[in-house]
């Protein structure tokens, strides 16, 4: 039997952005934080690198802004970059207040009053400005924020709940456009329940699972982007999908990312014969931005017909490696690779979705009452290429900004009316789940082959043709059978894939993460790619 629930704020997603929003909102609000699996299944938990912020006296806001604009290929919104960087110190101070155990430089506080935490450097950064917790920063942040959220009686942390679609006034035939909540599948009961809310926030992560090889956990299916698009929100810059250059290449290693911080501390990329190659592609060599490094690896793999390249930090003292990268050291050791003496086999893998749902500096989408924060959103911060460790910073800054905006509206927004329940009267149980598995596999394979690191018009046309056929098949299946997590994710993945392909076809140049052999040059004027849904209206 379907259930009805009512909250002040409904947060779909339990990662850095979602938990930060929940913890920053007033304690008198009733808040629900939904996770479609276990709470720790999102990308935040697995983030190894750290959080970029202006923390050292030798660093400046202007330098961080300049580095971000440079990495973004001329497409960043300078206003969004400056807003994020200017609020970086406050976000880090808040995390420290929550108890995040960032790695310290010294056991004792510095006598000169300087910043006492260890800062590292990553690709694209001109200064050491990455605050981290060894090489498991995401886990440290997530565990700390989750522990704090569990202390708050006003925050409900709910697992095994899969959002199906947003509920809007327009969808219900009411005057206005406001978001009123969401329909949510309970994986425990199999029923679709109704969650009404005064405010709804999409903090669902990105869509890297649309590709065959990815560093992301299984849940990164573009759910928030797809739901927002269907509800009437514009999306932007979805052609820019960042491929992390160094994912562990091993038949038993599923999606294990080898942190970029290794290269920041001196690790070198090498061919099977032991030769370095990055200096042939960029004067910054291993410290070049991720798109350049990923394309260089892709080029060498195709040129030589090899399965992988190698990342080598064995020239550093063993104790240094173990102390700075315990997670990578231990994980590689389980596969028989001792990184203090051996090279790490690596390949590029889909890692981060730079585009997403259009929002302003308060995280507000085109639909009143609906926010998008974190990787689900398109703030303008990343431009054509995300700079390392800016993404976690974006989660904290925009979640805190969204919380402040919600607080300003509390007196003006009442609880939504009683919402109609989910109608499952016309559907039956599926006896053809093999179709879901087949379509899922086909989608991810042609996205990898045709819409990957290097693109062409012909490849994109083939991808567009296939995705439209798939969308028709999925819509027919969705209309006739009861929903499941697999079906919901496939529907969302196919929708976001179609948006990615359309965005890539509109960009007739090579810029940042979008590289096409048909238009290898960069245009003089940088423009965002904005897609407008049929249901959008100002």
3-state secondary structure (DSSP) of residue 360: coil
Which of 106, 68, 104 lies closest to 86, judged by CA?
A: 68
Q: Which two tokens stand for residue 151?
A: 């202390």
Under DSSP, the state recorded for 428 is B
Q: Torsions phi, psi of 144, nearest 5? A: -70, -50
Contact residues for 273 (Cβ-Cβ < 8 A; gap 6+):
none
Q: Distance of alpha carbon 17 from its chain centroid, rounded?
A: 10
HSE-CB for 342 with a 13 A CA cutoff? 11
Q: Torsions phi, psi of 40, nearest 5? A: -90, 10
Catalytically annotated residue among 290, 466, 491, 507: 290
Find the helix or strand (DSSP H, E) in which 400 lies.
helix 390-409
Which of 379, 390, 380, 336 lies closest to 85, judged by CA?
A: 390
Contact residues for 275 (Cβ-Cβ < 8 A; gap 6+):
none
Q: Which two tokens stand for residue 532?
A: 């407008």
Q: Distance of alpha carbon 26 from its chain centroid, rounded?
A: 26
Known active-site residue 400: no
Contact residues for 29 (Cβ-Cβ < 8 A; gap 6+):
8, 9, 154, 410
How far CA 409 is from CA of 50, 197, 400, 406, in Å, comes to 33, 14, 15, 5
Beta strands of 437-502 (E only): which ranges?
A: none
Radius of gyration of the chain (CA): 23
Tokens 């409904």 belong to which residue? 10
Catalytic residues: 290
């Amino acid at each position: 039997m379907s259930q009805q629930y009512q909250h002040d704020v409904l947060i779909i997603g339990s990662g850095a952005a979602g938990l930060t929003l929940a913890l920053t909102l007033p304690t008198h609000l009733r808040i629900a934080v939904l996770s479609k699996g276990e709470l720790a299944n999102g990308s935040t938990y697995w983030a190894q690198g750290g959080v970029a912020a202006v923390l050292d006296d030798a660093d400046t806001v202007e330098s961080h802004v300049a580095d971000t604009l440079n990495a973004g290929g001329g497409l960043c919104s300078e206003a969004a970059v400056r807003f994020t960087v200017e609020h970086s110190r406050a976000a880090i101070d808040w995390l420290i207040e929550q108890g995040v155990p960032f790695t310290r430089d010294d056991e004792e506080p510095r006598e000169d009053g300087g910043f006492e935490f260890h800062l590292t450097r990553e690709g694209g950064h001109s200064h050491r400005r990455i605050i981290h917790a060894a090489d498991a920063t995401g886990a440290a942040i997530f565990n700390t924020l989750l522990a704090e959220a569990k202390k708050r009686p006003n925050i409900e942390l709910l697992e095994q709940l899969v959002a199906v679609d947003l509920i809007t006034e327009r969808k219900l035939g009411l005057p206005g456009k406001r978001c009123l909540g969401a329909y949510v599948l309970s994986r425990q009961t199999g029923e679709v329940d109704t969650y009404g809310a005064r405010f709804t926030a999409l903090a669902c992560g990105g869509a890297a699972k649309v590709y065959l090889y990815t560093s992301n956990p299984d849940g990164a299916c573009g759910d928030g982007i797809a739901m927002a698009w269907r509800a009437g929100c514009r999306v932007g810059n979805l052609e820019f999908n960042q491929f992390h250059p160094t994912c562990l290449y091993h038949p038993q290693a599923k999606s294990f990312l080898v942190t970029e911080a290794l290269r920041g501390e001196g690790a070198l990329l090498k061919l099977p014969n032991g030769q370095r190659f990055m200096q042939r592609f960029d004067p910054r060599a291993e410290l070049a931005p991720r798109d350049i490094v990923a394309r260089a690896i892709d080029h060498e793999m195709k040129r030589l017909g090899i399965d992988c390249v190698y990342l080598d930090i064995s020239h550093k003292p063993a104790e240094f490696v173990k102390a700075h990268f315990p997670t990578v050291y231990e994980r590689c050791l389980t596969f028989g690779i001792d990184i203090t003496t051996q090279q790490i086999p690596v390949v590029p893998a889909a890692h981060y979705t730079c585009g997403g749902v259009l929002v302003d500096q308060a995280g507000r989408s085109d639909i009143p009452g609906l926010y998008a924060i974190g990787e689900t959103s398109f703030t303008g911060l990343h431009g054509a290429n995300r700079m390392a460790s800016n993404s976690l910073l974006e989660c904290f800054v925009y979640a805190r900004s969204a919380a402040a905006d919600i607080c300003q509206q509390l007196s003006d927004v009442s609880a939504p009316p009683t919402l109609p329940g989910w109608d499952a009267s016309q559907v039956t149980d599926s006896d053809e789940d093999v179709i879901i598995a087949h379509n899922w596999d086909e989608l991810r394979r042609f996205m990898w082959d045709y819409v990957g690191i290097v693109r062409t018009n012909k490849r994109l046309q083939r991808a567009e043709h296939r995705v439209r056929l798939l969308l028709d098949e999925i819509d027919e299946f969705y209309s006739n059978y009861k929903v499941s997590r697999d079906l919901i994710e496939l529907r969302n993945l196919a929708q976001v894939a179609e948006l990615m392909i359309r965005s890539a076809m509109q960009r007739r140049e090579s810029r940042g993460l979008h590289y096409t052999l048909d238009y290898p040059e960069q245009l003089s004027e940088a423009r965002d790619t904005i897609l407008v849904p049929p249901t959008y209206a100002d």
